């Protein structure tokens, strides 16, 4: 479980082909604190640390991860958002993030507005039902608030701190792909409502 508050921007140091999957070696300031088998969020996808050294750590991304995320587009030198898991009793600064990427989106428009930036992202329309105005969305691992909703699009506002301390300033360009995780609570609510709608009704006068 994560919060969507990015703690470090790492760099891809090496990519090794595993015969289907890929091993990413990533430079990070907190690499010395990591241990093998620990979970870590890389651009919003929960991965398992398979090697840890003084300056770098490695994760293995299987074919399913490559299909559902932007990982297949990463290259050596690319920046990545990093977050370690939330500790029990820790402060929840963002929102509940599982690190389970639902889909990839595409940055359609970037607008500068005063001191902030507006990013409009398109996504598969079947996920529209999980969005509400000023609700939560995770984009490349960043916990953000939905500022506007269109048909198959959402817009988020990026403050200067987020712009400067995540991959936004380097990697978020028009036409570029991003990882999306829709709000877990919203998915449970929609799932509950749909299950109730499809459940057979109890005839009048019948006690259960």
Short-list 153, 2, 156, CA closest to 81:
2
User: Where do runs of H (alpha helix) occur along the chain?
Assistant: 63-68, 160-165, 168-171, 184-198
The answer to which of 59-63, 71-75, 201-205 has the lowest mean pLDDT is 201-205
User: Is 171 buried (19+), middle (13-18) or exposed (0-12) by CB count in 10 A?
Assistant: buried
Q: In this model, does residue 199 exceed pLDDT 70?
A: no
pTM metric for this prediction: 0.90
The count of C-alpha atoms lying within 13 angstroms of the C-alpha of 11, restricted to the half-sphere facing its C-beta, is: 7
pLDDT of 188: 82
**Cα–Cα distance between 160 and 153 in angstroms, integer?**
23
Distance CA 146, CA 132 (A): 7
Say whether pLDDT at 197 is over 90: no
For 158-176, the pLDDT digits (tens) are 999 999 999 999 999 999 9
* Residue 50 near residue 36 (C-beta atoms within 8 A): yes
Look at residue 204 in the predicted model and tell me its pLDDT. Answer: 55
């Amino acid at each position: 479980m994560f919060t969507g508050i990015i703690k470090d921007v790492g760099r891809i140091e090496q990519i090794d082909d595993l015969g289907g999957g890929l091993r990413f070696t990533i430079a990070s300031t907190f690499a010395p604190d990591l241990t093998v088998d620990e979970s870590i969020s890389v651009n919003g996808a929960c991965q398992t640390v398979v090697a840890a050294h003084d300056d770098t750590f490695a994760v293995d991304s299987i074919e399913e991860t490559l299909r559902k995320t932007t990982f297949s587009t990463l290259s050596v030198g690319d920046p990545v958002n990093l977050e370690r898991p939330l500790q029990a009793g820790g402060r929840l600064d963002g929102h509940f993030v599982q690190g389970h990427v639902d889909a990839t989106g595409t940055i359609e428009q970037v607008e500068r507005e005063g001191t902030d930036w507006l990013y409009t992202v398109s996504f598969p329309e079947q996920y529209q039902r999980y969005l509400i105005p000023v609700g939560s969305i995770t984009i490349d691992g960043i916990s953000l608030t939905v500022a506007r909703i269109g048909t198959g699009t959402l817009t988020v506002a990026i403050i200067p701190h987020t712009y400067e301390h995540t991959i936004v300033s380097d990697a978020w360009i028009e036409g570029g792909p991003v990882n999306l995780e829709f709000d877990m609570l919203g998915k449970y609510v929609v799932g509950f409502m749909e299950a109730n709608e499809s459940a057979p009704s109890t005839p009048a006068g019948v006690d259960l």
